[in-house]
Amino acid sequence: MNELQMSHSGFKAYDIRGVMPTEINEELAYRVGRAYAALYHPETVAVGRDIRLSSEPLAAAAMRGLCDGGADVMDIGLCGTEMMYFSVFHYGLSGGIMITASHNPKDNNGMKLVREEGIPISADTGLKEIEKMAFAGDFPEGQQKGTVAQRDVMDDYIRHILSYVDVSRMKPLHLVVDAGNGCAGPVFRKLAEHLPFQFTELYMEPDGTFPNGVPNPMLEECRRPLIEAVKRTGADMGIAWDGDFDRCFFVDETGNFVEGYYMVGLLASYFLHLHPGETIVHDPRCFWNTEAIVAEHHGKAVESKGGHAFMKETLRRVHGIYGAEMSAHHFFRDFSYCDSGMIPWLIVAQILSETGKSLSELVREREAAFPCSGEINLPAGDVQAVLAAVEQAYGAEAQSVSHLDGVSLDFGSWRFNLRPSNTEPLIRFNMETRGDRALLENKKAEVIRFIEQANRP
């Protein structure tokens, strides 16, 4: 396949992701593997894949590329992205590649690349160089070919995940779980063998045709079955994962979806209670609640640009014990600063068990103290022009303006952040206030109306 039959459009800020076979295909996967081997000279690379129908041939192509470039491969098979991270740092490998498109439509696929210790390869840290070499096809020759060895990492991974909680302190909660036919099911079932909970299961069988819709709990329609099941069964909590389960989402016992913002605060308080004075990393979208909780526990809050690569870089630099984005990515120092969708719900289950409080009780005061809009996606033809128009209109009255990630404007009693999507022509809008929900609703409508007007031709 020549360059004209491949597309650069699949190369994003943090990974490779696009439509099969026009934006990503086996030839590209092979070339990415070859380029990875040529640029980093790895000894052994872990390769995992999600349940998508195209993932197995893409993984095989990437492994061929790595081997032809002289690298050995640890084939960890069907797994979640965090199991690839785990394999890299736990076994001391040179790096890893995960074949996944996470929560994207089923005709999509992609690749996430890391170096040693799970350090991400992003557009700023090597992905552009991999792209350039992959398309040039100018690979060094003469290496001794590497070999592929399959390895089942499940038991070691489960043992590590369980080390974050004390199962003996857990009570027999009733939990509803929903994997959306993604990859979480096999791991969940292994974890469940060690836990005292009663489970109601929804869509836990991996199925790359996604018969019940794409596994993206950020979408309201994807959360509906979980919410209905929690209400119907009277469960203590509902948990949902995206396709490669590096994110998890929560529904409280009343059936209300809990915004990721408040889960960040809850988990921050858990870690600071165990480890006073530690550092917590948060993104710029909404953070007043997180900062208040960290201050109450005498910790240190550090703001980072959003996106998993930037969050991990910041967390590693400041040696933070925990960090999170509102989008339900949770990062842990003891997980080599990588994100996990399994660790958070186990910790929350332990908090419910130890406090005797419901999830709604645990977050109710925080929701009232710092109401937020949740993330709202707004179409924008020229994203940067719209951001500039908003800043020009609102900047003069703002107490502070930040460009760490998009634009953040703080007015004292309310603030908002606008940031461009890395994959779509969208603006991601988040707003919060200090205890004033009416102000939130009024200002939210006002800013959205302004954005819609600014976006008109």
Specify whether the CB–CB gap between 100 and 52 falls below 8 A: yes
Tens of pLDDT, residues 286-309: 999 999 999 999 999 999 999 899
* Residue-level pLDDT at 1: 43
Same domain, 385 and 444: yes
Identify whether 102 is a catalytic site residue: yes
What is residue 228's predicted lDDT score, i.e. its pLDDT? 98
pLDDT(2) > 50: no
What's the average model confidence in pLDDT over 158-182? 98
Domain boundary among 257, 289, 324: 257
* 42-77 per-position pLDDT tens digit: 999 999 999 999 999 999 999 999 999 999 999 999
Domain for residue 73, yes or no? yes
Among 11-15, 368-372, 427-431, the least confident range: 11-15
Say what the pLDDT of residue 32 is: 98
Q: Which of 233, 257, 281 is the last residue of a domain?
A: 257
* pLDDT at site 421: 85
What is the model's pLDDT at position 143? 84
pLDDT beyond 90 at 457: no
> Could you tell me if 7 and 146 lie in one domain?
yes
Question: Based on the domain organization, do 88 and 117 belong to the same domain?
Answer: yes
Centre a 10 Å sphere on the Cβ of residue 166 and count the other Cβ atoms it contains. Answer: 11
Query: What is the extent of the structural domain holding 55?
Result: 3-152
pLDDT of residue 422: 75
Last-in-domain residue among 236, 257, 278? 257
> Residue 78: inside a domain, yes or no?
yes
- Residue 159 covered by a domain: no
Give residues with Cβ within 8 angstroms of 137, minimum separation 6.
3, 31
Rounded to an integer, the average pLDDT of 96-105 is: 95
Average pLDDT over residues 322-326: 96
243, two tokens: 């396709």
Which residue out of 102, 122, 304, 327 is catalytically annotated?
102
Same domain, 183 and 55: no
On whether residue 435 sits in a domain, the answer given is yes
Residue 344 domain flag: no
Q: Which amino acid is at 429?
A: F
What amino acid is encoded at 110 in this protein?
G
Would 243 be classed as within a structural domain? yes
Query: Is the pLDDT at 320 greater than 70, yes or no?
Result: yes
Q: What is the pLDDT of residue 381?
A: 87
- 136 and 229 assigned to the same domain: no
Same domain, 142 and 116: yes
Task: Please state, in angstroms and rounded to a whole number, the distance separating the CA atoms of residues 397 and 216.
Answer: 37
For 65, residues 6+ apart whose C-beta sits below 8 A from its C-beta are 29, 30, 31, 32, 33, 34, 35, 36, 37
CATH number at residue 410: 3.30.310.50
pLDDT tens, position by position, 257-273: 999 999 999 999 999 99
pLDDT at 456: 84
> Cβ neighbours of residue 149 under 8 Å, at least 6 residues apart?
72, 73, 74, 75
| pLDDT tens track for 107-147 | 999 999 999 999 999 999 999 999 999 999 999 998 899 99
Q: Residue 396 pLDDT > 80, yes or no?
A: yes
Give the distance between the most distant pair of CA atoms in the chain: 68
Distances (CA, A) of 434 to 292, 369, 438: 11, 6, 11
Which of 152-156, 183-187, 313-317, 381-385 comes out lowest in average pLDDT? 381-385
Q: How many domains does the chain have?
A: 4
The predicted-structure confidence for 190-219, as pLDDT tens digits, reads as follows: 999 999 999 999 999 999 999 999 999 988
Average pLDDT score over the chain: 96
d(CA 32, CA 35): 5
CATH number at residue 101: 3.40.120.10
Question: Given the structure tokens 């949902």, which residue do they identify?
Answer: 240
29 and 128, same domain (yes or no): yes
Distance CA 114, CA 98 (A): 9
Residue 53 shares a structural domain with residue 146: yes
In-domain check, residue 319: yes
- Quickly state the pLDDT bin for 3 (edges 50, 70, 90): very low
| 164 located within any domain | no
For residues 250 and 269, membership in a common domain is answered with no
* 117 lies in the same domain as 232: no
HSE, side-chain direction, 13 A CA sphere, residue 141: 2
Let me know whether 214 and 272 are in one domain: no
Terminal-to-terminal C-alpha distance of the chain: 40
